[in-house]
Amino acid sequence: MILRRVAHHLKRQEWTAIGIELLIVILGVFIGFQVTDWAGERANRSAEARHLEEIAEDLRADAAVFDQIRTSAEMRISAIDYILGETRGVTRPNRIVTPNGDAFDMPAGPPVAPADRTTLLGRANLIRSTKGNRTGFEALLGAGGMQKIRDRQVSRQLQVYYAQYDDMNELTDTVKQVRTEGVAIGYTLGLSAFGEMDPDALNAVVRGSPAYSAYLRTNREWTAIYRGTVVQQRQRALHLLGDINTYLGNRDSDRQ
């Protein structure tokens, strides 16, 4: 229709009308491209928000699990203190400093109740851990990667957070390896990993075994490092969660 009108105007040399017709065509094409771009941008923003909301759910789950791991680690430290007959700040250090200079607090943990003293071996050897909640992050990577996140700060924090999570998982493996080696020493002394035992009898066995005593102290040292690392990762999770909430416009921040 437009081409027919343009041809008609050309025959009659109606240049103004021709210009108007061509302008209509150009504007139509331009608006069509703009609508397409707008629809694509809107779809991208919707997908970005969906991925970040899924990641936020994972971060909340991570923070809750980190609390459980911290509590478990402190119970492990208190059980080892009791077995060894040592007291924080008196017969053992308040913190541990690694060769590279990192310092980690070694808290006393909750006192071992009399009713729980037959389960000291289980408390000393039980290691609570997690591989992390990565559903949202992996979905983001599978959908095209970090370029879907417009905010460079949030994007960078996500990459750092999950890289540090991998480092924490390597530390978890180290702590579990120490436990495996210590349990093997315990077998030679007639000690099972989680068996119940009279605390006085256990104290006597441990006092007679420098190797098992050394294992318990090593276990406690690695546990202090593990606990401190988990606490730091929980802080990162809450900080990242707060930034995601701010970016998405959520007013109720999860940061604590």
The reply to whether 117 falls in a domain is yes
Work out the average pLDDT over 101-119: 93
The reply to whether 96 falls in a domain is yes
- For the chain, the C-alpha Rg in angstroms (whole number) is 31
The reply to whether 42 falls in a domain is no
Best CA proximity match to 219, nearest among 106, 116, 102:
106
The reply to whether 2 falls in a domain is no
Over the range 226-253, which residues count as b (16 or more CB within 10 Å of their CB) and which as e? Answer: bbbbbbebbebbbbbbbbbbebeeeeee
pLDDT computed for residue 84 by the predictor: 92
pLDDT computed for residue 147 by the predictor: 75
pLDDT computed for residue 96 by the predictor: 93
The reply to whether 230 falls in a domain is yes
pLDDT computed for residue 148 by the predictor: 79
Helix (H) or strand (E) holding 105: strand 103-105
pLDDT computed for residue 108 by the predictor: 87
Q: Which segments of the chain does DSSP mark as H helices, in order?
A: 2-11, 15-84, 120-125, 135-142, 152-188, 199-207, 210-248
Pair of tokens at residue 12:
């009659």
Pair of tokens at residue 48:
């970005």
The reply to whether 22 falls in a domain is no
Q: pTM for this structure?
A: 0.81
pLDDT computed for residue 244 by the predictor: 93
Residue percentage of the chain with pLDDT more than 70: 79
The reply to whether 177 falls in a domain is yes
- To the nearest 10 degrees (0 to 180), the angle between helices 199-207 and 210-248 is 110
pLDDT computed for residue 49 by the predictor: 87
pLDDT computed for residue 227 by the predictor: 97
Domain that holds residue 131: 47-248
pLDDT in tens, 55-73: 999 999 999 999 999 999 9
pLDDT in tens, 179-201: 999 999 999 999 999 999 999 99
The reply to whether 255 falls in a domain is no
Q: How many domains does the chain have?
A: 1
Mean pLDDT of the chain: 85
